[in-house]
Amino acid sequence: MNLLINRAFNSFLIGIICLLSNICEIQAQSFDNYKKRNRSDFQQYKSDKQRKFKEYRDRINAEFAGYMRRTWPEYRSQPARPVPDSPEPPAPVIKDPDRQPSNDPIPFDKVKPAPELVEPPQPVVPLPSPQPVVPDRSMLIFTFYGQKCRIPLENKHRFALKDATENSLADGWMILSSDEYLPVVAQCLEYRDKLCLCDWGYMRFIEQMTTEFFSPAQLNEARLMQMYILTQSGYKVRIARAGKQLVLLLPSKDTIYQYSYLNIGGVNYYIIDSLLGQTSFSVFNQEFPKEQDFSLEITRQPILPILETAPRLLQSKLDNGLEANVILNKNLIDFYNDYPLSSNWNIYANASLSQKTKDQLYPVLRIFMTGKNKLDAANILLHFVQTAFEYATDDEQFGVERALFADETLFYPYSDCEDRAILYSALVRELLGLDVVLLHYPGHLATAVCFNSDDVYGDYLQINDKRYIVCDPTYINADIGQAMPQYKQIIANVIRIQ
């Protein structure tokens, strides 16, 4: 009897196991079918989205080409604005050791707000991912400030314009709008993000790429491709014709010196060809969908291959032992040297220092500031900027007035007031976390720092509910709170830094 019961129980277990096995197999098949259905649905969704993107891109580019065929209106250019002369003193002002500190309010007029920092423009519609570089594939290879770049531009991408008339340019635009050029735009944007290029840097990248791809006789083809890639990348640009030659126009809210410009609808469009002598232009002034304003701001440091300069020893003459050997990146210096000169001090102040420079300089400064309160630490930084650099006017060093980016101040043998104010503002903001403003006078630039305390003694500005203490990096041997005597009664323009 027990044997029969055991056999029945075993048969029951085997049945249950087989049943469960069948159920699991059915469930596995169902899950596999579910995954396949979802994968198929996703692929269909992705295909539909890509089709819609393509239809949208094709439509807006066809419409844009249609506008391009219309007669372009005429504009007269304005002459390039020369860099204004600055009546800087030929020698730095050294503080009289007998002069007593004061606690005087500094007169000021307007406070220029810090610019709103925006992210780089995005493509009008999503682009395909850049393809891995295939070594034996025909590629355009060029060097951009030390960076070897590979762009999938081949012979099939070359085209020739019949002439510079509206219809011929519109035909060229339709050629560029084909799918053949999408990988080119995608790879350019990949380099923009990889190298952390600002708007100006990206424009220069596109300019160099196209001029190296086309022959010197095909400058118009290069210009049209520049405009195409920039518009597809989300930038607001324009193109104009001077006789038979095309030029690129870049809008800017800031004054750019040494470039002639056209005023179109109250916006200054700068002609990116400083050698062009014509003054009459036919302009294609049509907005491209989702275009974003062009900016000279440098919101992130360009990442360029390191080409080391000779070491430079920087020594504070007021804090014994404070010295740093700094090696800079010549590729970055060359990039800054080609940057347009502007009236906007924020462009230089917000750029800060390169990471390579910070890694060498900041640890040394932090050692000397260890254990110090923020007032004393800010004084150490002030004395360092005052005494570690030799003074010379821009006219003496460069033959023209120009502000230096912070890395340039560490590179060139001399610096003046605006260069030191820009450098000092970066050090105080990044090492001490304090709010700094620039004080602009005729022929002079200084700084003022908010120490978040009302008991800091010295010359000051009361801006709303905050007190900013004057810190002048060109008033040699002066401490925090000591303004140059000749500027104490002159009204300052206050510039906030982002």
Instruction: Give the per-residue pLDDT at 89.
Output: 75
**Residue at 23 is within a domain:** no
Quick one: 108 and 158 in the same domain?
A: no
Question: Do 310 and 433 share a domain, yes or no?
Answer: yes
- Are 180 and 169 part of one and the same domain? yes
Q: Mean per-residue pLDDT for 88-101?
A: 87
In a shared domain, residues 188 and 253: yes
Q: Tens digits of per-residue pLDDT, 295-312?
A: 999 988 999 999 999 999
Does 42 score more than 90 pLDDT? no
Residue that the structure tokens 């799918």 belong to: 179
Please tell me the total count of domains within the chain: 2
Q: If you average pLDDT over residues 214-240, what whole number do you get?
A: 97
Query: Does residue 32 form part of some domain?
Result: no
Q: Is the pLDDT of residue 8 over 80?
A: no
Look up the CATH number of the domain holding residue 346: 3.10.620
| Predicted local distance difference test score (pLDDT) of residue 47 | 66
Task: Quote the CA–CA distance of 404 and 423 in Å, as a whole number.
Answer: 9
Query: Taking the model in full, what pTM does it have?
Result: 0.88
**Mean confidence (pLDDT) of the chain:** 90
Contacts of 210 (CB under 8 A, 6+ apart): 221, 222, 223, 225, 226, 229
Percentage of the chain lying above the pLDDT 90 cut: 75
pLDDT, tens only, 60-76: 999 999 999 999 999 99
Q: Are residues 130 and 110 in the same domain?
A: no
What band does 1 get if pLDDT is binned at 50, 70 and 90? very low
Q: Which tens digit of pLDDT belongs to each residue from 135-154?
A: 556 799 999 999 999 999 99
Give the pLDDT mean for 26-41: 63
Buried b (16+ CB within 10 A) or exposed e, 154-178: eeebeeebeebebebbbbbbebbbe
385 and 411 share a domain? yes
User: How far is the CA of 471 from the CAs of 40, 49, 244, in angstroms?
Assistant: 66, 57, 54
Does residue 110 carry a pLDDT above 90?
no
Rounded Cα gap, residues 249 and 226, in angstroms = 11
**15 pLDDT higher than 80:** no
Domain span at residue 222?
Answer: 74-78+118-284
Specify the residue for token string 């014994």.
Answer: 320
Helices 199-213 + 182-194 axis angle, to 10: 130
- pLDDT greater at residue 277 or residue 404: 404
